Structure 1
Amino acid sequence: MKPILPTLSRSVDDASIHANRYIIAMTVTLACVLELLDTSIVNVAIPHMMGTLGATLDEITWVSIGYVVANVIVLPISGFLGNLFGRRNYLLLSITLFIVASIACGNASTLPEMVFWRIVQGLGGGGLIATAQSTMFEVFPRKEMGAAMAIFGMGIMLGPMLGPTVGGWLTDQYSWPWIFYINLPLGLLALLLVLLYVPESKLRQKVEHIDFTGLLLMAAGIGALQLMLERGERLDWFDAWEVVAYAVISIAALGAFIIRQLEHLHPLVDLRVCRDPQFAAGLVMTFFLGASLFATVFIFPVYLQTLMGYSAWQTGLLILPSALASGLIMPVSARLVSKGFPARGLIICGAGLFMYSMWLHYHFTTQSGTWDFMLPLVIRGVGLGMIFMPLNNLSMANLQPLQIGSATGLYNLTRQLGGSVGIALSATFSTKLSHMKNDVLLEHLSGPFASERLAMLKSRLLASGMPVTSADGAAHALLAQQVQKQALMLAYDHLFMLFGLAMLLTLPLLVVMKKQQVAASAEVAH
């Protein structure tokens, strides 16, 4: 038996809600920036944390894994939790939990303590994105929904990109605990603004039953899937029993969870929203958008720091214009859609620009300089910015207001999982491709060119004072190192093209995405 969506009988008070709608949008977007910033801000401080906490590289990765796993477990049930506690109360609870956990992370003195509080922080942060998005769908009228999603999109794009910049600066200028303490003033500001301006949802549904079995299945399935993606490359994927175990648990638990949710009268996650072709197509496209965004944000800093010798702070500064370009183009996209420009046209243009940017990335070399990077990065930012807001609106356009809570949770979970898959593929393929390219380069490294190169390296080493007996072996080692560096560069070039093509291949899905704009809850309620 399928539950019937209740009829909306009461209207939203435009005077009390719409008057503050842009303050509300800024408030919930600030909360999202906090959550997404902490996804990437930790990465640059890892070496410093290892020393303080006495952890190995393999152990310290759980600081990031614990946060992300907790995050993705909460995302799909944020609509349910919003109904259980009230959306405003749930937002307040999430921010409070996030702040408390951030302070505890900064004060952590052992690895288990740090991992525990990162999990708590992830549980608090996981509810912020979907709750923020569903709040804006309710308080904005349809004609301003593009502007609302542009504000929200700036937070989604800027958060991950600003992480390395902010993290690098705080770690260099102060110490690693400040990457967590920075959340205190910003979190308190978000908390105050929610208390002052964010209203309780008028679309709250009474929770008559909590499906604890479904909750356990979902946590096991999504948690195991995320762990598999996070640990797979490091453990050589399915050659390790741990990764196989994660895969088996994930498939079994998620399969049982989907069946249970489709049959349950009071599901934790309303998976029936996926029956709408437009929303289903949007999920596929946002998966690839997440993969392209997070993977390129992951690959490019690694390229700069391992091959080009950039510091974390320098890397962050170089990435910043791309983030700003995304933020600036989103209001323009919103304006164009509100004026009747086809959302599908913007997505196609954005995907084309992203592909062009990846083609420029494909031509990076170990000799490229700062100005060689600037234009491709800005074009990438513009392309992704043009895709985000129209795709978000198209995906939700056919859904009813009471479905938005579950839909936004699923939508953001899909983008997050896409990012995890993109990063996992990048890490795996960069290793495998670099080995392949290294073998190819070594096959062609023979004859006069190799002899001349070795002679040049040997003469430099002798000029620097190295003994004759050691110079020959050192010259061969240096040549092998240069070949490895070039092979890794070629691997990164191919990965950039791969993600550019992946975005283009999703464009045929736009055929089923015909309705242009989402109907805001505030209008439907009238």
Structure 2
Amino acid sequence: MTAATTAANPESAHRGFITASVMLATIMQALDTTIANVALPHMQGTMGATQDQISWVLTSYIVAAAIFMPLTGFLTARWGRKRIFMWAVVGFTMASMLCGAAQSLNQIVLFRLLQGVFGASLVPLSQAVLLDTYPRERHGSAMAMWGVGVMVGPILGPSLGGWLTEYYNWRWVFYINLPFGLLAWFGLAAFVHETPIDRSRRFDLLGFGLLSLSIGALQMMLDRGESLDWFASPEVITEAILAGMALYLFIAHMFTHEHPFIEPGLFKDRNFSVGLLFIFIVGVILLATMALLPPFMQNLMGYPVIDVGYLLAPRGVGTMIAMMAVGKLSGKVDVRHMILLGLMLTSLSLWEMTLFNTDINGWDIVRTGITQGLGLGFIFVPLSTITFATLAPRYRNEGTALFSLMRNLGSSIGISAVI
């Protein structure tokens, strides 16, 4: 690397430290999407809560994160990406400590809501930082490293959560975030440079309100629909109507307002628009099967929670292997061919899972898990790369937020479809 190159991009001299810092933030947030699930029965006993009440520990986090994720683009443009990133890490870590120390159901629901608010921007900002830190020809490798945290975190969450709950107690599923948060904060403070700040950018309050109402109502419907018998419930019907009407009004507002909350120019990029659709599908597959297997293994096959974690962990290993392979193959193999390979492997694993019954053994679960992990790894990284390949750099903060939002919405719909 020449001195001129380094001067043009001062972050390039510290790529390793920057990558490690944003990876820690990514893993911290990604783990929390699933790590608390296996601890819910233990929380329920401590708090003296009913099944419906304890579910708000998950609902509050999911809804808050979904609502505030699209706000990432505006916040970073108005106050700077580094500043927002560091505040998000601090807020998420402190909220995690408060969750671990909570003494009542109301407290833990409130602190989980705060976790969602601060955690909403961690993954999209991590992706945006890496895209700006690495040159275009190395975006594939950068997305491979970032993808390990995004994809493996939710997969390993139940395993780690089960182990912590079994050998310590449920509070440690939140305390585990402290070392991740501290290391990530110091790394960001030392090595990441601030982006230009646009104080003139106006906040589209109506647009944000409509989008928040639509996303919030949809997430509430998906999260509570099964327990309320779906459209037999007036609450679910109301939430569905609110979500649909608010989305329609938001889209109409976006294309007619002078300074909309989300720039319509984002969707003129075909790679980006198609990428959003595909990552939505990946989200459905990723967490739908993850949500179905643990209760199947525990309730019907009689596996203890710690064994369930061990049998599901190889799925994450398969994902890591595929992502590392993609990092090496980037620039040498057409990304479309890698996505096709990933789709074939994922389809094979899903077909094999349709044959599951109570007579299968642990090896069947491990084998299909590795196959699906490999498939998702070969899809996610090339998809992340090609989605942002032609998107203008000025749209990256907003684009990465929408990319993460679509993955999360897909995950919510996938879970609702199978549970």
TM-score greater than 0.5 by the shorter chain: yes
| TM-superposed deviation, 1:425 | 0.6
CA distance in 2, matches of 1:129, 1:226: 19
| TM-superposed deviation, 1:24 | 1.2
2:60 maps to which of 46, 59, 66: 66
For 1:306, give the aligned amino acid.
N
1:215 aligned to 2:208? yes
Aligned residue-pair number: 415
Unaligned regions of 5+ residues in structure 1, if any? 1-10, 428-526
Aligned twin of 1:279: 272
Map of 1:211-290 to 2, 5 A cutoff? 211-290=204-283
Contact conserved, 2:141 with 2:330, CA < 8 A, in 1? Answer: no
| TM-superposed deviation, 1:112 | 1.2
| TM-superposed deviation, 1:364 | 2.3
For 2:132, give the aligned amino acid.
E
Matched position secondary structure for 1:368: coil
Aligned twin of 1:413: 405
> Cα deviations across residues 156-197 of structure 1 (Å, max 9, x unaligned)?
111101111111111111111111111112111111111111
1:357 aligned to 2:349? yes
1:199 aligned to 2:198? no
1:132 aligned to 2:145? no
For 1:363, give the aligned amino acid.
L
Percent identity reads 39
For 2:294, give the aligned amino acid.
P
> Cα deviations across residues 345-395 of structure 1 (Å, max 9, x unaligned)?
100011001111122222322121112222211111111000011111111
> Cα deviations across residues 112-131 of structure 1 (Å, max 9, x unaligned)?
11111100010111010111
| TM-superposed deviation, 1:14 | 4.1
| TM-superposed deviation, 1:213 | 2.1
CA distance in 2, matches of 1:23, 1:269: 32
Map of 1:35-434 to 2, 5 A cutoff? 35-202=29-196, 204-339=197-332, 341-427=333-419
Contact conserved, 1:24 with 1:197, CA < 8 A, in 2? Answer: yes
Larger radius of gyration: 1
| TM-superposed deviation, 1:201 | 2.1
Matched position secondary structure for 1:423: helix
Contact conserved, 1:83 with 1:207, CA < 8 A, in 2? Answer: no
| TM-superposed deviation, 1:334 | 2.2
- Does the C-alpha gap of structure 1 residues 91 and 12 become closer, same or farther in structure 2, counting only changes over 3 Å? farther
> Cα deviations across residues 85-119 of structure 1 (Å, max 9, x unaligned)?
21000000101110111111111111111111100
Aligned twin of 1:23: 17
Contact conserved, 2:6 with 2:12, CA < 8 A, in 1? Answer: no
- Does the C-alpha gap of structure 1 residues 373 and 208 become closer, same or farther in structure 2, counting only changes over 3 Å? closer
- Does the C-alpha gap of structure 1 residues 140 and 423 become closer, same or farther in structure 2, counting only changes over 3 Å? same
| TM-superposed deviation, 1:206 | 3.7
Contact conserved, 1:135 with 1:201, CA < 8 A, in 2? Answer: no
Once structures 1 and 2 are overlaid, which stretch shifts more, 296-305 or 256-265? 256-265
For 1:414, give the aligned amino acid.
M
For 2:348, give the aligned amino acid.
Y
| TM-superposed deviation, 1:311 | 1.8
> Cα deviations across residues 422-480 of structure 1 (Å, max 9, x unaligned)?
000111xxxxxxxxxxxxxxxxxxxxxxxxxxxxxxxxxxxxxxxxxxxxxxxxxxxxx
TM-score when scaled to structure 2? 0.96
- Does the C-alpha gap of structure 1 residues 337 and 328 become closer, same or farther in structure 2, counting only changes over 3 Å? same
CA distance in 2, matches of 1:288, 1:335: 25
Aligned twin of 1:8: none
Unaligned regions of 5+ residues in structure 2, if any? none
2:27 maps to which of 17, 24, 33: 33
- Does the C-alpha gap of structure 1 residues 266 and 393 become closer, same or farther in structure 2, counting only changes over 3 Å? same
Map of 1:410-489 to 2, 5 A cutoff? 410-427=402-419
CA distance in 2, matches of 1:419, 1:392: 17
> Cα deviations across residues 234-293 of structure 1 (Å, max 9, x unaligned)?
111111011111112111222222222222333222233112222211111111111001
TM-score when scaled to structure 1? 0.77
> Cα deviations across residues 486-517 of structure 1 (Å, max 9, x unaligned)?
xxxxxxxxxxxxxxxxxxxxxxxxxxxxxxxx
CA distance in 2, matches of 1:319, 1:293: 13
- Does the C-alpha gap of structure 1 residues 12 and 262 become closer, same or farther in structure 2, counting only changes over 3 Å? farther
